[in-house]
Amino acid sequence: MGMSKGTITRWKNGVIPNGETIIRLAEYFNVSTDYLLMDNLQSSDLCLEEIELLQRYRSLPDLGKEKVKSYIDGYIACIEVENN
C-alpha cells in the first residue's frame, strides 16, 4: 500500500491514521472503517469512558505514558495504605 515502516510503527503506538488512509486500509483488508477504529475495543467489556481514556493514553508519547503509569501506581499505593 506504499506505507513506510515508520508510519506503521506510529499506528502501532496509537497514532490514528487520517480518514483517507483508514478508508484505503478498510478496502484493502475488506473490513469496515468502524472495525479498524473501534470494533476491537467495543467488543470488549470496556465502557465508553474507558475507551476514551485508552485512546487518550495511546496518543501520549512514551514519557507521558510512563508518567500516567507512575501516577496510577502511586494512587493505588495510597488507597492500599488508607484501607489498612
pLDDT tens across the length of the chain (84 residues): 678 888 888 888 878 788 888 888 888 888 777 777 775 555 556 677 877 788 888 888 999 999 999 999 999 999 998 887
d(CA 2, CA 62): 27
d(CA 25, CA 32): 9
Q: Which domain holds residue 69?
A: 5-83
- Domain count within the chain: 1
d(CA 51, CA 38): 9
Its pTM stands at: 0.47
Assign 35 to helix, strand or coil: helix
